[in-house]
Amino acid sequence: MTESNKKPPIYVTQPVLPPLEEFIPYLEQIWENKWLTNNGPFHQQFEQALCDHLGVNYISLFTNGTLALVTALQSMRITGEVITTPYSFVATAHSLLWNGIKPVFVDIDPETLNLDPAKIEAAITPQTTAIMPVHCYGHPCDVLRIQEIADNYGLKVIYDAAHAFGVQCHGGSVLKHGDLSILSFHATKVFNTFEGGAIISPDAKTKRHIDHLKNFGFVDEVTVVASGINGKMSEINAAFGMLQLKGIDQAIQKRQAIDAQYRAGLAHIPGLHFLSQTSEQVSNYAYFPILVQADYPLSRDALYQKLRDEGIYARRYFYPLISDFPMYRGMPSAAHANLPVAKEIAEQVICLPIFPDLSSDQVDSIIELLAH
């Protein structure tokens, strides 16, 4: 392909941006209020709007999802060991290290790619205090089985729900399961506020404690009750979130159409496998991962390079495993023998582009590349 006819690159996901002129009135209001952060008017409106949209009662906004994870663990006073997945973004395990907690990695289910409940009990020790599963790619974990295990052993459950905005299972929001759930509003997510995150709480008391922790532990001007952090969301991010909410349903519908086009186009290509959808869940179509298996004519990495050569910037997401990074690989639970499914999936996975502005013709061209 010559420079003259080179097509613009296509990335796995691209931020959804409303027209700039629609955002200007929000900025003008912030300038008029002269209230830039710390629970301003847009922050308060955005929290309530999210509760209404997501079907939850209590939500605390954060400057990003990682600080939300760190604060969630602190709010639950989690110590010792926490059982989690090696197949996630590094922030999942990093949040544990930031709290002085030892991650204990458990293998994943080969169909859902989520933490395998059948492997959790064997990893529980007297030092285990919690389970931190991830709703990988927005597909709900086996929340009922995980909760049953947690109840039997007296453990907390904190869900990394970074991918799970708007996802529903068992007749309601997936965010209602566990003791806490954490969202990310990073620019590449289904719903974004440039940067942002949130913690979903079960009750007002827990939300109040989390709100103190994200503001240095302040209760009022002269009272500090905990060693909190600065995790507050700014008014600009909250205002952007208010605007984004107006178009989120349409954006998810476009993602659904792209997902369906991929499934139809890839269904008969030997050696490519994609995750199944179930009628019991409401998806947000956050990602479209495929698994490149042995009967496909190219290796996963060769296909990855082929796509990049054509300007398709797919991602091997998640590769390497978290447990393979230097700060984790010396842990006994990080051994490949302990994580055979996760290791195999990490060596097969490619996430294809999926975002609302991806055209049908672009999807067809990606399918064509995969088929030949």
* Residue 26 belongs to some domain of the structure: yes
Partners of 181 in the beta sheet?
A: 159, 200
Are 271 and 305 contained in the same domain? yes
Rounded to whole angstroms, the Cα distance separating 36 from 58 reads 23
Peptide bond into 133 cis (omega under 30): no
Per the structure, how many domains does the chain have?
Answer: 2
* Structural domain boundaries, residue 147: 20-245
Smallest CA-to-CA distance from 83 within 91, 75, 92 is with 92
* Residue 324 belongs to some domain of the structure: yes
| Domain's final residue, options 208, 224, 245 | 245
Tens of pLDDT along the chain (372 residues) come to: 445 456 789 999 988 888 999 999 999 999 999 999 999 999 999 999 999 999 999 999 999 999 999 999 999 999 999 999 999 999 999 999 999 999 999 999 999 999 999 999 999 999 999 999 999 999 999 999 999 999 999 999 999 999 999 999 999 999 999 999 999 999 999 999 999 999 999 999 999 999 999 999 999 999 999 999 999 999 999 999 999 999 999 999 999 999 999 999 999 999 999 998 876 789 999 999 999 999 999 999 999 999 999 999 999 999 999 999 999 999 999 999 999 999 999 999 999 999 999 999 999 999 999 998
Rounded to whole angstroms, the Cα distance separating 72 from 91 reads 13
Are 203 and 277 contained in the same domain? no
* Residue 280 belongs to some domain of the structure: yes
Are 183 and 241 contained in the same domain? yes
Rounded to whole angstroms, the Cα distance separating 29 from 118 reads 52
Rounded to whole angstroms, the Cα distance separating 261 from 283 reads 16
Phi–psi pair at 179, nearest 5 degrees: -80, -35
